[in-house]
Amino acid sequence: MPAPPLPHVVVGAGAAGLVAAITCAGSPDRRVLLLERTREGGRKILVSGGGRCNILPSQIEPARFVTGSSPNTLRKMLLSWPLAEQRRFFTEEAGIELALEVETGKVFPASNSARQVRDGLVALARRRGVEILFDSRVEDLAPHPEGGWSLALHGRGRLDAAAVVLATGGRSMPGTGSDGLGFELVQRLGHSLHPTYPALTPLTAEPPRHAALAGLSLDVTITAPGSGQGFTTRGGFLFTHRGYSGPAVLDVSHLAVRSRLAGGPLQPLLVQWTDLDAKAWDRELQEGTGWVLTALRRHLPDRLAAVLLQETGLDPARPLHQLRREERLRLVEHLTRYPLPWTGDEGYRKAEVTGGGVPLSEVDPRTLESRRCPGLFLCGEILDAFGPIGGHNFAWAWATGRAAGRGASGRP
């Protein structure tokens, strides 16, 4: 009797790993094992979107992704599975009805349940014949002398595989099971890493100058001045007891974090608190009537208006027509180019993704097979790419998971 074929093994039952396993299990004579170190898998799916799971964006924006690798390679990998096909996969194959949140451009499950997404993918994997082994931690893997791969499992001995898909995630949200093990494994196998760092993470301020504003939120524009045109993002801004959060802060946080880790000057972040630019504010303050505080309250929350005036040293009850030119310009600068007094960040504990990772040049962009180790496929957060909030990082996970699963399925 010939020996049974070796299984195809996917390591990590997160977003990318679940789709990789589902895709790989397309043949009845192919055994696919999905190894997950936690007791249930998909924990980051469960906590995403406040428990709602922002499963996809309504439009994909490759230019807003961050990578130290080739942007063209990233674009090819990201667009390898068009959004329309991804939506069809979830509705028709996973049985998850989707709904567009028009005001944000985000796509959620119609049930607003992240658990439905996780459970739907797990159920689809099982229907495809995937064997899921929970509480299975991979401690090492190496090419097998006779071909394929050999994996060392904690407390379970060794497992041989025809091909391995690493979907171990990064270092963000370690409570969900992402502890950076995948980075260690690929480095042992000869891969390089672009330095990793927490991304899409809240910023902190010490001392917390604006702690009294905790809980207050508004839409702002944040600019990070730099070489070229710099970086600008618009979205929600939230004052916290420790600093600042919200979509706009998260989207610009990678620049702040990288400047801190580099040990040089901290990246300046300039906040425009309203839709009014400097010219519009200058005109309003010159032509308006009443008190200064009244003018600010027309466009800003009361508490924030009072704090900004206090920081500029202006009397809230000062009549607008009494403002001297230098006072008016100082106030306009505070309203349109406010230097956010951040000093640190919440790190991986609250980061939504990991920046850096395996350079995209070290995998085949079509199959995601390692160029260093044939039969090894990499997908998801272990790769050097991440996008803005709003479902882009799930789109990356789904697309790269599918590509890696298809690539691995071609290995006998």
CA distance 399 to 77: 7
pLDDT at 74: 98
pLDDT at 237 over 90: yes
Residues 6+ apart with CB under 8 A from 349: 173, 174, 175
Q: Judge whether 146 and 136 are in contact, CB under 8 Å.
A: no
Is residue 179 classed as helix, strand or coil in its secondary structure? coil
Residues 6+ apart with CB under 8 A from 258: 197, 267, 355
Band of pLDDT at residue 29, cut at 50, 70 and 90: confident
pLDDT at 222 over 60: yes
Is residue 283 classed as helix, strand or coil in its secondary structure? helix
pLDDT at 411: 76
pLDDT at 227: 56
Q: Which domains, and CATH codes, for the chain?
A: 8-197+355-409 (3.50.50.60), 202-269+340-345 (2.40.30), 278-339 (1.10.8.50)
Q: What is the pLDDT of residues 53-93, one digit of tens each?
A: 999 999 999 999 999 999 999 999 999 999 999 999 999 99
pLDDT at 223: 97
41, 322, 328 from 284: Cα distances, Å: 54, 14, 10
pLDDT at 123: 98
Q: Quick one: CA dihedral 44, 49, 53, 55, positive or negative?
A: negative
pLDDT at 5: 80
Question: What mean pLDDT is predicted for residues 142-158?
Answer: 92
pLDDT at 72: 98
Is residue 232 classed as helix, strand or coil in its secondary structure? strand
Global pTM reads: 0.95
Task: Compute the mean pLDDT over every residue in the chain, rounded to the nearest whole number.
Answer: 96
The 8 Å CB, 24+ separation contacts for 226-230 are 226/255, 226/267
pLDDT at 26 over 90: no
Question: What mean pLDDT is predicted for residues 202-221?
Answer: 97
Question: What mean pLDDT is predicted for residues 85-105?
Answer: 97
Band of pLDDT at residue 326, cut at 50, 70 and 90: very high
Which DSSP letter does residue 370 get? B
46, 85, 110, 220 from 99: Cα distances, Å: 18, 15, 5, 26
Question: What mean pLDDT is predicted for residues 132-139?
Answer: 96
